[in-house]
Structure 1
Amino acid sequence: MSERGALRARLDLLAREVAKFGVVGAVGLVVNIVVSNLLWRYTDIPTVRAGLLATFVAILCNYVGFRYWTYRDRDKSGRTRELTLFLLFSAVGAVIETGVLYAATYGFGWNSPVQSNVFKILGIGIATLFRFWSYRTWVFKALPDAAEGLPDKEVVLSPEESVRPAQSVGDAAVSVPAPAPVPAPVVRAEADTARR
């Protein structure tokens, strides 16, 4: 596969991953906004605390979507580790998200329902960038490729080198050079008459 083809394949995979992450995130956004607004309207819970509670409800919904849809083909061997890291990075995202809402509410006094929703969504957007990076890098780890460690490019050999037929490993075909023949020792049959 050429470098351009490999780059295109990687970008296509990344685009699919971003799209799936976006769909799950959109569902989480709706859950987050709906729960926030219900808490703001029907309870006496302060704005920031209600927003934080809504964030944690959305985090639980998102975990299900990420594990069973977006990253369903990723490593599933360490669920305890995965869930621990997911909750840790989600908590950092919640701090980012809630920090924006907190700054708007208590720093600037912007706490009308419309302003609270605007800053809630802004905080979610900033936290989403962090979550995407951390989830794909640390939480839902990719399984190693079958052909990992093998060269992506075709090996070019000089005419003197003999080549075995291409061997197929996974989806990659690799040309493997045959061992170079060992040259026969040069035997000189010169008579050294001076020393005799």
Structure 2
Amino acid sequence: MTAARRELVGFATAGLLAYVTDLALFTWLRGPAGLDPLTAKTLAFAAGCTVAYLGNAHGTYRHAQHRGVRPYAVFVAVNLAGALVQLLCIAVSHYGLGLTSQYADTVSGAGIGMALATILRFWGTRTWVFPAEGRVGSWTG
């Protein structure tokens, strides 16, 4: 398997685990727990972000230099930018378009918002958190 493919598969795997964590927690917080959509999404994001960092640091980019607090702090910043994309999608849908059902909140935040945020997160993670010069067998693209 090429380095590019390994990176994409690893990032997707870590992301899928984070997505499942985020979606399950958001659904529970928005439904049975009865939280408002933005609070539920914020809490679900925090859990998903941690799962994603651990998956990438110990899996996808395990050969990269990522010692200390800085890589995690930058990862959180990149993921906060992604979370803002997701929150914006929920806010536009829920408050702007009046689509206030749990289903609409889930589609806008965990569907459309997550897809757009994933593109931003991949680019930010490989550019700023685990840059090419710190990786073994990386691809540049």
Report the TM-score range of the alignment, normalised by the length of the smaller protein.
Answer: 0.7 to 0.9
Q: How far apart are the structure 2 equivalents of 1:84 and 1:119?
A: 27
Higher relative contact order (CA 8 A, sep 6+): 2
Q: How far apart are the structure 1 equivalents of 2:72 and 2:121?
A: 14
1:117 corresponds to which of 106, 110, 114: 106
The SS at the match of 1:79 is coil
- Aligned Cα RMSD in Å? 1.8
- Give the structure 1 partner of residue 88 of structure 2: 99
Q: Which has the larger radius of gyration?
A: 1
Task: Report percent identity of matched pairs.
Answer: 26
1:42 corresponds to which of 32, 35, 41: 32
Q: Which amino acid aligns with 2:98?
A: G
1:126 corresponds to which of 116, 120, 123: 116
Query: Is residue 81 from structure 1 mapped to residue 70 from structure 2 by the alignment?
Result: yes
- Structure-to-structure mapping, 1:1-196, within 5 angstroms: 12-76=2-66, 78-120=67-109, 121-143=111-133
Q: How far apart are the structure 1 equivalents of 2:105 and 2:8?
A: 27
Q: How far apart are the structure 1 equivalents of 2:86 and 2:19?
A: 12
Q: How far apart are the structure 2 equivalents of 1:106 and 1:144?
A: 43
Verify the 8 A CA contact 1:96 1:126 in the aligned structure 2: yes
Aligned length: 135
Verify the 8 A CA contact 2:90 2:108 in the aligned structure 1: yes
Verify the 8 A CA contact 1:75 1:142 in the aligned structure 2: no
Structure 1, unaligned runs of 5 or more: 1-8, 147-196
- Give the structure 2 partner of residue 157 of structure 1: none
Verify the 8 A CA contact 2:93 2:108 in the aligned structure 1: yes
Q: How far apart are the structure 1 equivalents of 2:97 and 2:73?
A: 35
Q: Which structure: greater helix fraction?
A: 2
Q: How far apart are the structure 2 equivalents of 1:16 and 1:66?
A: 12
TM-score w.r.t. structure 1 length? 0.64
